[in-house]
Structure 1
Amino acid sequence: MAEFAEIEAADGIRMSWNVWPSSRVEMARCVVPPAAVISPLQPLAQPEAVLQYPPLRCRTCRAILNPFCSVDFAGKIWVCPFDFSRNQFPPHYSELSESYLPGELYQQFTTIEYAPPGDRGLPPLFLFVLDTCLVEEELTFLRTSLIQAIALVPPNAMVGLITFGTHVHVHELGFSACAKSYVFKGSKEVTKEQILDQLGLVSFHHKSAGVIAGPKDGLSASSINRFLLPASDCEFTLSALLEELQKDAFSVASDKRASRCTGTALNVAAGLLNACVPGTGARIMAFVGGPCTEGPGMIVGSELSEPIRSHKDIAKDAVPYFHKAIKFYEGLASQLVNQGHVLDVFACSLDQVGLAEMKVAIERSGGLVVLAESFGHMVFKESLKRLFEEGASSLGLSFNGIFEISCSKEVKVQGIIGPCSSMERKGPSVADTVIGQGNTTAWRMSGLDKNTALTVFFDVASPTTQEASKSFYLQFVTSYQHSDGQTRYRVTTVTRAMVDGAINTESLQEGFDQEAAAVIVAKLACHRMEAEDEFNPSRWLDRLLIRLCSRFGDYRKDDASSFRLSSKLSLFPQFMFNLRRSQFVQVFNNSPDETAHFRILLDRETVTNSLLMIQPSLVSYSMSAPPSPALLDVAAIAADRILLLDAYFSVVIFHGMTIAQWRNLGYQNQPEYKDFADLLQAPHTDAEAISKERFPVPRLVVCDQHGSQARFLLARLNPSATYNSAPAGAELIFTDDVSLQVFLEHLQRLAVVAQN
């Protein structure tokens, strides 16, 4: 998809259809919904496209000046392409002429950023919320990683510390003479007013009325600095607190779980930030090592004999705490979004911690999530380090984003799937049907970074076929607080063609981006699995694929052997085959927490990264040839090869049997076998490069053919050779799943008899 990748590099946008039918009926016949995956803060392809003045908006529709506007240079007037209203240029555009254009009118600057001078906001704030119901070894791992991370926090960034176990402890960093903390009972839900009153954060003249205080309400800087201080001022105090941090003092019986009040701790953290820094970029970074067993957000009782909910329990509605916990986190999500704050969760435990319940608060606030087996695992340690490191590979954390969409009158917005929350801003571009966060043309993104992607679903507004070869326009505007505190505006304006879908099917196929379409379908399937109780994803995907192939395939009716697909659609069935087998659709053998983790990352990632989650990449290394892509098939396994599988969440280095034997004999340590040593090192070098560019850092699995961990590779390969059908001497996959070849044969047989 080279042509679509170029568009993505320039504008950070990929669309399922780059040519649209001009009627709603024909759009429905295209089967795959019209949608766009956009990365609002993707690094600019042209760094010079940053303007040091505020954007110029249309006086009626509020769209921003862009290269598609018509300009009257003599009258200093520009015409908005969205509502065709005429707008006067302000005085500072007085030098405008055909030979002297402002940056936003250059045709190559369809994506541009405004960085107007002005007061910078407060520096970013990181409130660390630590679980102390851990074994001593885990607490040591967590303590060490956090001390290293705090050393990387920008000196001007504000930091705070809350610890929790049976109770919640809010630590006062501004009192360095001795350790001092305020304690909240973990088993009881705490109101905002109680939090402020106990912490002494309510102004005297507001205290009796119970009004939440903030800096504008008379809350002094000294009151705020008791709990939240610049990292440079409290690094020693914070490090000392962490070094002396002890596990929860309350003993735990051998047949019980630890008393852990995760929900109360997050509630107190949100209340503290609401009092001190409302509307300012702040992140609650929660480090959780086990399930919440008391208070709001509880997911399981304290008795070990009581199992934590599974997918089967949720399907049967045998989950006494599940719905109440989700309701609590929905309320927390609303509070965080209103405050402009973010919830990040680092869940490190062999047991579940309640990520499935927390998902709504993490997603709507634009938070990050890391899931690992232990606080000592490289996935956790390297991911935490990447959050604060500087350089080209850093995440570029930004805050307080608002994402707006302007559309031509032919297009309406159904909604967004991704890390955002609807602002309920109505308008003529709002569609009647809703997908994800809808009923609006503006969304709040409390937290976002350079990899954050949103999936926007559209609808064709016109009920009847109109003139062919028309164009429509879309504009995406993201205002946000940069990591340096400056408010910036990223503007992307694109145009696409509309044709008569009944006549110009070839034009539609030419504009079909099968990679983006596969990712969009995957995100929509996951959304419907969570939103609809009776939804069957495998059946829905099968029907969608059959209808698409029947609509655009070339065949003679009832003759499967005559079926052909254009090269523009030929990979799509393979993507759907792998999606049906992926962890997004097949939740068996995954816990609800793992499934929530997978879906959070799918919803927020770009097309390239999301496609790796659906269909991993496979690279082959051998002595006889340079590294080369290999088919994702069991036939790729050979005794004299090394395979590198990138499945996004994990990276697997798989040694063939002969390679493993040579390695075990130590040939790589002998000078005459330097080529073999280089061969062994090559996949590790590539795996390290992959890990440096990704968040969270993927799990690295190194395994050998016929070894126990080889399952991480075998589970993702096409089972073309199984115990039912295998050539002599071939590597086997023990599964009842059909192979890709059988899947395609069934698809062809059904497509040639299906009705359009």
Structure 2
Amino acid sequence: MEEFADLESQDGVRMPWNVFPVSKQEATDCVVPVSAIYTPLKPIPAMPVLPYSPIRCRTCRSVLNPFAIVDFAAKIWICPFCFQRNHFPPNYASISEENLPAELYTQCTTIEYESPMEAASSAPVPPVFLFVVDTCVIEEELGFLKSALSQAVDLLPDNSLVGLITFGTYVQVHELGFGLMPKSFVFKGSKEVTKDQILEQMGFFAKKPKPATGVIAGARDGLSSESIARFLLPASECEFALNSVLEELQKDPWPVPADQRATRCTSTALNVASCLLGACVPGSGGRIMAFVGGPATEGSGAIVSKDLSEPIRSHKDLDKDSAPFFHKAVKFYEGLSKQLVNQGHVLDVFACALDQVGLAELKVAVEKTGGLVVLAESFGHSVFKDSLKHVFQSTDYDLGLSFNGIFEVNCSKDIKIQGVIGPCASLEKRTPICSETIVGQGSTSAWKMCGLDRATSLCLVFDIVKKDTPDAVGQPTSNQFYLQFLTYYQHNNGQMRLRATTLSRRWVAGPGNIQDIISGFDQEAAAVVMARLVSFKMESEADFDPLRWLDRSLIRLCKRFGDYQKENPLSFSLSPRFSIFPQFIFHLRRSQFIQVFNNSPDETAYFRMILNRENVANSVVMIQPSLISYSFHSAPEPALLDVAAISADRILLLDAYFTVVIFHGATIAQWRKAGYQNQPEHEVFAQLLRAPKDDADAIIRERFPVPRLVVCDQHGSQARFLLARLNPSATYNNGAPAGPGGDIIFTDDASFDVFLDHLQRLVVQRS
């Protein structure tokens, strides 16, 4: 699959089908949807950034690209999407075949524009960070959180604006600009607060009368910059005031009876934060960073009552529709997400608690604004502390946080867009390229991405509408078609940029061309598309059976593209292009995206949110973890994700994306406990112990959210982190012998061999 990875490094795009079936029926027969996983801000080596505005087609507004047909004599270019003839502007007068502008170079299919006129007329917009901090936590947890926030404040860009809101029973908005003494405005946690009430109560019009008409938003629309600076100060100016408030921060003082939960008004605090940013800095890149340490029990977004005898909703409660708070909370956060999208602001959630905090309800607001999400057990855990540092540090692994994106799609007339699954919100821009069938956020060709970074990836699902006319079946008039993705966004240097990616792919028609379709199949991208699709269906379709849907899809795909004789399972074989796909589906069926048993609704929501925003390489690791084996006999090498990989004299490193596991075989663990690695004559053993630790550190350094590191021994209690992800080829009841020093798994799950055997028998059956 290296060729597809090369395509991705050039344009940030991976497609399950790199050669498209020519008709709707043929596309349906291909089972995996015609789709693309696109990473709008993927770092692309040697990508030109042009210091001028793009040339657009006057009909379809697509941007000039290498696939345009150019008449150098007449100074005209023909748009490959709508075939409109467009004149070049006067500044392109010297254009010729020997003197091409950068956007017509064949290798520049992805290019960025930064207009100097725009840059000169508007000063770079400073990013805004509004910290919303939960104080209903024990003193130790609050100490960890205050320490992490102090470090984060030191890492903020000097020009960024910073604000602070704390909440518990009440919401407190801290006035950082009043340096003489700590001062804050308090709102009742159980009451809904509007933007007008916030403006009134917080004295925004004390020195300047309130405008009689119009929207009040930001300095341009009637707010004085002094009143805004009371609550949002440049990081360079407010460091002392902010650290003073954090040092003095106390646990929520209101008493909590022994049989009750703390009164925590998370939703009211987020609403106040959203209204404050909407009033002060609408349309500029702003992030609400919420640090939540327990379940919301007050306000419209409450997930459980204060009574401890009532348990927090489980998956079973959601399935039976017996979670009394769930729908009201989701409705509240849907409204909040619309407000944030209109303002162009992002909601990030750092949820650190042993209990649930309401991430399942918050999911809609985080996803639609493109927010970051981190789930950990404590504010003292490395998963939280290192992830928070990762957000702000500008090292090799800089997240490249950008704001205020608008993503648009243009495509040839034979293709329509069904929708997008990923961190964005529909702008409801209905155009002729919108399909009647809707998947994810559909009925639009433009989406808002309030927050995006270098890893943010969208899954676009297309519809083939090409007609099966006689000449199309025989020999299409043109077998090339085009897609263009436009991302207009606020770069982290504060300037607005436009990135344009233009792709060309080809159609193939008729039954004789099945080999061409097979040659363009990318099984990693296909597995990721199926994972996003099945997660989306599980959340949006009642009574949806994910395992049945995945099994039927895989059987149909193998019937279509496998080689076999009817009623002869042994004759079944798949092209190397498809050979790993059944394995991906086997592991997807067993993954945390499908199997919700033993996971809370918050954990499931967290896993799916990360899946929906990560690129293909990271998503594949979530679906089918990678396993590396370390031993005295050979260099580190990939091992099969199978219980047979376990051996007493081996160390295994499992990368399951959310957790990284270092697993010591029984003999290795004994030697380590005996301290052999500390003796000079056993330096080789010390190196063997160090190698997986170094590799695990390298994985952890570059990943966001930072994974949990588990170091365990064979037969130890934490070995379950590895065993749960392995193919159970040797179990307690199937009689398969474990190798010398090996292991067996206590499970009733079918192994991959049994799964494949069933698949082959079902595929070769007569329909």
TM-score normalised by the chain length of structure 1? 0.99
Whether 1:310 aligns to 2:319 is no
User: How far apart are the structure 2 equivalents of 1:326 and 1:754?
Assistant: 47
- Cα pair 2:210 2:222 within 8 Å, conserved: no
The equivalent of 1:733 in structure 2 is 745
The equivalent of 1:505 in structure 2 is 514
1:471 Cα shift? 1.0
- Cα pair 1:202 1:213 within 8 Å, conserved: no
- Cα pair 1:404 1:477 within 8 Å, conserved: yes
User: How far apart are the structure 2 equivalents of 1:178 and 1:136?
Assistant: 24
- Cα pair 1:421 1:437 within 8 Å, conserved: yes
Whether 1:151 aligns to 2:163 is no
The equivalent of 2:103 in structure 1 is 104
User: How far apart are the structure 2 equivalents of 1:264 and 1:210?
Assistant: 26
Letter in 1 for 2:81: F
Letter in 2 for 1:560: P
1:196 Cα shift? 1.6
User: How far apart are the structure 1 equivalents of 2:765 and 2:205?
Assistant: 71
The equivalent of 1:40 in structure 2 is 40
Runs of at least 5 residues in structure 2 that lack an aligned partner in the other structure: none
User: How far apart are the structure 2 equivalents of 1:281 and 1:39?
Assistant: 20
User: How far apart are the structure 2 equivalents of 1:268 and 1:59?
Assistant: 43
1:116 Cα shift? 1.7
- Cα pair 1:286 1:344 within 8 Å, conserved: yes
How far does the alpha carbon of each residue in 1:354-393 deviate from its partner, in whole angstroms, 9 at most, with x for none? Answer: 0000000000000000000000000000000000001221
Partner-residue secondary structure (3-state), 1:480: strand
Partner-residue secondary structure (3-state), 1:643: strand
Residue 399 of structure 1: which of 394, 399, 403 is its match?
Answer: 403
Letter in 2 for 1:619: I
- Cα pair 2:134 2:292 within 8 Å, conserved: yes
Whether 1:9 aligns to 2:5 is no
How far does the alpha carbon of each residue in 1:247-270 deviate from its partner, in whole angstroms, 9 at most, with x for none? Answer: 101011111100000000000000
Letter in 1 for 2:20: W
Residue 593 of structure 1: which of 602, 625, 638 is its match?
Answer: 602
Task: Check 1:566–1:202 CA distance in 2 against 1; reply closer, same or farther (3 A cut).
Answer: farther
User: How far apart are the structure 2 equivalents of 1:322 and 1:717?
Assistant: 35
User: How far apart are the structure 2 equivalents of 1:44 and 1:114?
Assistant: 14
User: How far apart are the structure 2 equivalents of 1:214 and 1:46?
Assistant: 39
- Cα pair 1:56 1:65 within 8 Å, conserved: yes
Task: Check 1:18–1:202 CA distance in 2 against 1; reply closer, same or farther (3 A cut).
Answer: farther
The equivalent of 1:162 in structure 2 is 165
User: How far apart are the structure 2 equivalents of 1:720 and 1:282?
Assistant: 50
1:193 Cα shift? 1.4
**Range with bigger deviation, 346-355 or 665-674:** 665-674
Partner-residue secondary structure (3-state), 1:503: helix
1:737 Cα shift? 0.5
User: How far apart are the structure 2 equivalents of 1:457 and 1:154?
Assistant: 38
Partner-residue secondary structure (3-state), 2:543: coil
Whether 1:409 aligns to 2:413 is yes
User: How far apart are the structure 1 equivalents of 2:582 and 2:81?
Assistant: 36
Task: Check 1:88–1:746 CA distance in 2 against 1; reply closer, same or farther (3 A cut).
Answer: same
Letter in 1 for 2:540: A
Whether 1:542 aligns to 2:542 is no
1:207 Cα shift? 5.9
- Cα pair 1:201 1:275 within 8 Å, conserved: no
Partner-residue secondary structure (3-state), 2:512: coil
1:754 Cα shift? 5.2
Letter in 2 for 1:111: T
Q: Percent identity?
A: 65
User: How far apart are the structure 2 equivalents of 1:91 and 1:362?
Assistant: 46
Partner-residue secondary structure (3-state), 1:489: strand
Partner-residue secondary structure (3-state), 1:504: helix
- Cα pair 1:501 1:508 within 8 Å, conserved: no
1:687-726 matches, within 5 Å, as: 687-725=696-734, 726=736
User: How far apart are the structure 2 equivalents of 1:91 and 1:198?
Assistant: 56
1:202 Cα shift? 5.1
User: How far apart are the structure 1 equivalents of 2:217 and 2:567?
Assistant: 72
Partner-residue secondary structure (3-state), 2:612: helix
Letter in 2 for 1:173: L
**Range with bigger deviation, 405-414 or 202-211:** 202-211
**Range with bigger deviation, 259-268 or 746-755:** 746-755
User: How far apart are the structure 2 equivalents of 1:251 and 1:754?
Assistant: 70
1:94 Cα shift? 1.7
Residue 143 of structure 2: which of 113, 133, 140 is its match?
Answer: 140
User: How far apart are the structure 2 equivalents of 1:201 and 1:41?
Assistant: 38
1:512-531 matches, within 5 Å, as: 512-531=521-540
Letter in 2 for 1:191: T
The equivalent of 1:22 in structure 2 is 22
Partner-residue secondary structure (3-state), 1:81: coil
- Cα pair 1:546 1:754 within 8 Å, conserved: no
**Range with bigger deviation, 135-144 or 105-114:** 105-114
Residue 282 of structure 2: which of 272, 278, 283 is its match?
Answer: 278
User: How far apart are the structure 2 equivalents of 1:598 and 1:254?
Assistant: 33
Whether 1:624 aligns to 2:633 is yes
Task: Check 1:202–1:600 CA distance in 2 against 1; reply closer, same or farther (3 A cut).
Answer: farther
User: How far apart are the structure 2 equivalents of 1:528 and 1:654?
Assistant: 35
1:113 Cα shift? 1.1
User: How far apart are the structure 1 equivalents of 2:310 and 2:295?
Assistant: 12
The equivalent of 1:742 in structure 2 is 754
User: How far apart are the structure 1 equivalents of 2:221 and 2:766?
Assistant: 66
1:209 Cα shift? 6.0
1:497 Cα shift? 0.7
User: How far apart are the structure 2 equivalents of 1:290 and 1:603?
Assistant: 25
Partner-residue secondary structure (3-state), 1:6: helix
How far does the alpha carbon of each residue in 1:586-612 deviate from its partner, in whole angstroms, 9 at most, with x for none? Answer: 100000000000000000000000010
Whether 1:224 aligns to 2:228 is yes
- Cα pair 2:402 2:489 within 8 Å, conserved: yes
1:433-452 matches, within 5 Å, as: 433-452=437-456
- Cα pair 1:523 1:602 within 8 Å, conserved: yes
Letter in 2 for 1:685: D
User: How far apart are the structure 2 equivalents of 1:83 and 1:131?
Assistant: 53
1:637-716 matches, within 5 Å, as: 637-716=646-725
- Cα pair 1:406 1:475 within 8 Å, conserved: yes
User: How far apart are the structure 1 equivalents of 2:132 and 2:516?
Assistant: 54
User: How far apart are the structure 1 equivalents of 2:369 and 2:666?
Assistant: 48
Whether 1:195 aligns to 2:201 is no
Partner-residue secondary structure (3-state), 1:604: coil
User: How far apart are the structure 1 equivalents of 2:620 and 2:567?
Assistant: 33
How far does the alpha carbon of each residue in 1:222-268 deviate from its partner, in whole angstroms, 9 at most, with x for none? Answer: 01000001000000110111011001010111111000000000000
The equivalent of 2:238 in structure 1 is 234
Letter in 2 for 1:692: R
User: How far apart are the structure 1 equivalents of 2:104 and 2:46?
Assistant: 15
How far does the alpha carbon of each residue in 1:65-105 deviate from its partner, in whole angstroms, 9 at most, with x for none? Answer: 11101111111111110001011111121221111111111
Letter in 2 for 1:284: I
User: How far apart are the structure 1 equivalents of 2:214 and 2:45?
Assistant: 50
Q: How many residues align?
A: 754
User: How far apart are the structure 2 equivalents of 1:648 and 1:482?
Assistant: 28
Letter in 2 for 1:346: F
User: How far apart are the structure 2 equivalents of 1:672 and 1:120?
Assistant: 64
1:211 Cα shift? 4.7
User: How far apart are the structure 1 equivalents of 2:386 and 2:668?
Assistant: 29
Letter in 2 for 1:91: P
User: How far apart are the structure 1 equivalents of 2:545 and 2:653?
Assistant: 33
